[in-house]
Chain A
Amino acid sequence: MDFLRPASWSEALEAKANHPDATPIAGGTDVMVELNFDQRRPTTLLDLTRIERLAQWSRDSHPEGDVLRIGAGVPYSRLIGELGTSLPGLAIASRTVGSPQIRNRGTLGGNLASASPAGDGHPPLIASEAEIELESVRGTRTLPVSDFFTGVKRTALADDELVSAVHVPAATGPQQFSKIGPRNAMVIAVCTFAVALHPQRGTVGTGLGSVAPTPRSATEAEEFLAGELAENGRWERPDPLPESVIGRFGELVARAAAPIDDVRGTARYRTHALGVLARRTLGWAWDEYRNGTETSGRQGCA
């Protein structure tokens, strides 16, 4: 086996162009499990952990609002520690990944490229309409996160491309995320839900995980809630939301799911649980908005 250890991003792109079959390895928390269990024997491993650029993030100003550019190699522990205020939804989701050891090592780029339907990083990125930056020696392109995923464990990455970064608009309102699993730590999600409120634009974002081959949003639910909030002047006078609104939102979110039965749960359970998550997270997010509490990247309490 070849083990390539590029020291710079340009070297990494060269290496990937010259070895299109090379398996990139970042935190290794997916790749090494496959290697240890002989599920994969790559001819070439391409180590990305020495590339400083991949482990950096920056905040860029745009007329429509700040955007965080997060290098593909930033581990969860840093997303939690450094970006909890700018991207609370992503930070909450990151807190639910594996264990401290996994979060110290696992990266957003690896989570995206693995494209597991249960990737916990995906729903908050969908809810925030993030974009994925892909790069090769041929150049750079950015894709909406929803176009990046093409199927179960399949992505839009070409053979010579690497994920360089994720662009996520900074939160302009409360964001929440919730995940169902047998316990708090170390679980693959049965289903997940992310919600982002955008008071200035008067819109709502959603992200559903582990309930379809690829992560998706619940467009009908978003439109329903945004309409409801606008029509009744709720952004300006944020009273508690009527049960009927919260309930309808939950129903519409559940309707957007296309889950399967598997060892972690039945499709029916997933759909039900997703509706519950949608109602709860909306409740937490709306309370935050009403109380004007600073978004912290911490989860509400179930």
Chain B
Amino acid sequence: MRLSLTINGRATTADDVWEGESLLYVLRERLGLPGSKNACEQGECGSCTVYLDRVPVCACLVAAGQAEGREVGTVEGLAGEDELSTVQRAFVDTGAVQCGFCTPGLLVAADDLVKRVPEPSDAEIREALAGNLCRCTGYEKIMAAVRTAAGSGSPATGSGESSGEQLT
């Protein structure tokens, strides 16, 4: 089938799509948007998290046919023309990225959280990121990055190691 949808604000079509393949496959293999990562294909790791009609979902669990006519937002759409988004900036500044495989999914999940919840508590941050696995960082720097992005507290909490002057 030919699949028509909006991705990061742009009307897009993909050809020769098998309706039962995942939206993740369409993004990565048919549309050249490899930002969303494929690790488990079963909803467990969150590395494929995208917005579907503005709601974060696992792209690996959306059938291509279900995405017809929908609005998809991927990690590629977070940054502005010349600058990173607040959440991306905070991840970089805080050192929340190691191998980076989990990062795109975490960025989308964190982006959703800071847009929805003005000053999330640590419990709220943990809950919002519970569907995203990271095997490198131990999550502390990720927590710090999200706190920074949400403007809810000092990024130095706990680690005793702060990069100092990130918030503008």
Binding site for B on A (CB under 8 A): 1, 3, 5, 25, 27-29, 31-33, 35-37, 41-42, 45, 47, 49, 77, 98-102, 104-105, 184-186
Residue B43 is within 8 A (CB to CB) of chain A in the complex: yes
- Interface-facing stretch out of B28-36, B86-94, B127-135, B138-146: B127-135
A33 & B130 in contact (Cβ 8 Å cutoff) = no
A45 and B65: CB pair below 8 A? yes
Once the chains are docked, how many angstroms separate the CA of A47 from the CA of B66?
7
On whether A32 and B22 interact (CB within 8 A), knowing A100-B109, A100-B128, the answer reads yes
Interface string of B40-70 (1 = CB under 8 A from A): 0111101001000001111011110110100
Question: With A3-B65, A25-B63 given, is the CB distance from A36 to B1 under 8 Å?
Answer: no
Q: Is the CB of B20 closer than 8 A to any CB of chain A?
A: yes
- Contact for A1 among B19, B58, B60, CB less than 8 A: B19
Are A25 and B130 touching (Cβ within 8 A)? no
Cross-chain contact of B60 among A36, A42, A45, A49 (Cβ < 8 A): A36
Can you name 19 A-B residue pairings with CB atoms under 8 Å?
A: A3-B63, A3-B65, A28-B63, A29-B43, A29-B61, A31-B63, A32-B22, A32-B63, A33-B61, A41-B20, A42-B20, A99-B43, A99-B46, A99-B130, A101-B58, A102-B61, A104-B55, A186-B44, A186-B131
The number of residues on chain B lying at the interface, defined by a beta carbon within 8 Å of a beta carbon of chain A, is 28
Residues of A within 8 A of B18 (CB): 1
Instruction: Flag if B66 contacts A28 (CB, 8 Å).
Output: yes
Interface residues of B (CB under 8 A from A): 1, 18-20, 22, 41-44, 46, 49, 55-58, 60-63, 65-66, 68, 109, 127-128, 130-132
A51 to B66 Cα, complex, angstroms = 12
A contact residues around B60 at 8 Å (CB):
32, 36
Q: Write out the residue numbers on chain A whose beta carbons fall within 8 Å of the beta carbon of B130.
A: 99-100, 184-186
Q: Which of A28, A45, A100, A184 neighbours the largest number of chain B CB atoms within 10 Å of its CB?
A: A100
A1 to B128, CA, bound (A): 36
| B57 cross-chain contacts in A, Cβ below 8 A | 101, 104-105
* Bound Cα distance A169, B68 (Å): 36
Residues of A within 8 A of B22 (CB): 32, 35-36
Q: Report B-chain residues with C-beta under 8 Å of the C-beta of A45.
A: 19-20, 63, 65
A32 & B61 in contact (Cβ 8 Å cutoff) = yes
